[in-house]
């Protein structure tokens, strides 16, 4: 069994036919068929079944395909890692970010990564906090930005900032107030995300600790759904800052006080999936972008001093390693 044969099996399984796989693998179809025949003879089992509309994997073929994919991916990642040691980070890096921060972070991550690390193939997954946390725990992404790292298991987390939550809605009368007490915010007609999300759980925890009852009259899964009710004046909401810039017209945002509601935003990765050199470079880049967002007021909150102190060195390291 050779690595070449495993790659051919993968190509056939994913292309669905010998002819399409031959074109994809830049090999003559008879030669491809011969290699698969040799592999089947060596294993003494049938891997593929010819059908009228292409080929299908047998049970043994499907199992070998899964193993082959894992082996080839690991070998390719080793090659990328060895090339990266020359100071040119290469390979695929997958990142998760909260959907509420997507408009703020996604364009910056994509553009800055293309400028600094052209050898990195980047995937950025923006979704619900729950989905991002699960992806980090299971190692489906290399790392992620999460506000609930303390709830995750088997992750290494670096706290970056403490964000503050805001009440947003249409005031009954013109006001220059920039704050609102939690009791006052809780008494308004609130539209809230589902309890499966960390934001909702954090708000309810703060309300319970303050002895306040939330007037939650609507529940919406999506940020656009929440935004539509707030803009129409049917409800108010409580949110972190990144999504609020799209909500502010014609609404107003006020910082919740007495007590403040805060969350710690971290960069986290699975302890079972150590960061590659390329992923480490991207982590440093994302850390810098978070710091810049806080310093510019685009993500309201306060930087955690340790992260702020480490960022310039990390960024200098990334700059020195970039081509």
pLDDT in tens, 283-321: 999 999 999 999 999 999 999 976 444 444 333 444 444
Mean model confidence pLDDT for the chain = 85
What residues are paired with 156 via a beta bridge?
269
- Measured in whole angstroms, the distance separating CA 139 from the mean position of its chain's CA atoms is 11
Give the pLDDT of residue 86: 59
pLDDT beyond 90 at 114: yes
Q: Does domain 3-84 have CATH number 1.10.10.10?
A: yes
pLDDT beyond 60 at 59: yes
pLDDT beyond 90 at 71: no
Which CATH superfamily hosts domain 91-162+263-321? Answer: Periplasmic binding protein-like II (3.40.190.10)
The model's confidence at residue 82, banded by pLDDT at 50, 70 and 90, is: low
Under a CB-based contact definition with an 8 Å cutoff, are residues 263 and 162 in contact? yes
Which CATH number among 3.40.190.290, 2.40.10.10, 3.40.30.10, 3.40.50.720 corresponds to the domain 166-260?
3.40.190.290
The model's confidence at residue 218, banded by pLDDT at 50, 70 and 90, is: very high
Angle between the N-to-C axes of helices 29-43 and 18-25, in degrees from 0 to 180, rounded to the nearest 10: 110
Residue with tokens 């999300």: 197
Of 87, 146, 143, nearest to 319 by C-alpha is 87
Is 91-162+263-321's fold the same as 166-260's? yes
pTM above 0.85, yes or no: no
CA distances (Å), 302 to each of 245, 290, 299, 322, in order? 18, 11, 9, 29
Give the pLDDT of residue 249: 66
User: Percentage of the chain surpassing pLDDT 90?
Assistant: 43
**DSSP annotation of 27:** S
Under a CB-based contact definition with an 8 Å cutoff, are residues 1 and 40 in contact? no
Number of H helices, E strands in the chain: 11, 14
pLDDT in tens, 144-190: 999 989 889 899 999 999 999 999 998 665 567 899 999 999 999 99
Give the pLDDT of residue 65: 86
Under a CB-based contact definition with an 8 Å cutoff, are residues 219 and 197 in contact? no
CA distances (Å), 200 to each of 129, 151, 237, 257, in order? 11, 14, 11, 17
Give the pLDDT of residue 175: 67
pLDDT in tens, 1-58: 888 888 888 888 888 888 888 887 888 888 988 988 898 899 898 998 888 777 888 8
Which residue ranges make up each domain of the chain? 3-84, 91-162+263-321, 166-260
């Amino acid at each position: 069994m050779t690595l070449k044969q495993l790659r051919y099996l993968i190509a056939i399984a994913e292309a669905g036919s010998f002819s399409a796989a031959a074109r994809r693998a830049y090999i003559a179809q008879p030669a491809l068929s011969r290699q698969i025949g040799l592999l089947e003879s060596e294993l003494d089992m049938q891997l593929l079944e010819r059908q009228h509309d292409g080929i299908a994997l047998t049970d043994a073929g499907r199992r070998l395909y899964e193993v082959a994919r894992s082996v080839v991916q690991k070998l390719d990642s080793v090659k990328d890692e060895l090339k990266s040691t020359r100071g040119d980070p290469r390979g695929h890096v997958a990142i998760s970010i909260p959907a509420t921060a997507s408009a703020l972070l996604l364009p910056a991550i994509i553009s800055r990564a293309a400028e600094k690390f052209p050898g990195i193939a980047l995937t950025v997954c923006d979704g619900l906090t729950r989905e991002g946390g699960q992806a980090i725990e299971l190692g489906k992404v290399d790392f992620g930005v999460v506000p609930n790292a303390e709830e995750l298991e088997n992750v290494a987390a670096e706290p970056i900032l403490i964000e503050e939550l805001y009440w947003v809605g249409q005031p009954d009368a013109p006001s220059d107030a920039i704050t609102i007490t939690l009791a006052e915010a809780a008494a308004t007609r609130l539209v809230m995300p589902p309890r499966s999300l960390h934001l909702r759980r954090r708000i309810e925890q703060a309300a319970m600790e303050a002895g306040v009852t939330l007037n939650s009259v609507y529940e919406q899964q999506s940020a656009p759904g929440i935004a539509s009710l707030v803009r129409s004046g049917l409800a108010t909401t409580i949110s972190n800052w990144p999504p609020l810039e799209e909500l502010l017209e014609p609404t107003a945002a006020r910082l919740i006080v007495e007590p403040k509601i805060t969350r710690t935003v971290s960069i986290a990765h699975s302890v079972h999936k150590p960061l590659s050199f390329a992923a480490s470079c991207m982590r440093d880049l994302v850390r810098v972008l978070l710091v810049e967002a806080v310093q510019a007021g685009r993500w309201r909150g306060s930087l955690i001093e340790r992260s702020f102190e480490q960022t310039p060195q990390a960024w200098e390291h990334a700059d020195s390693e970039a081509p």
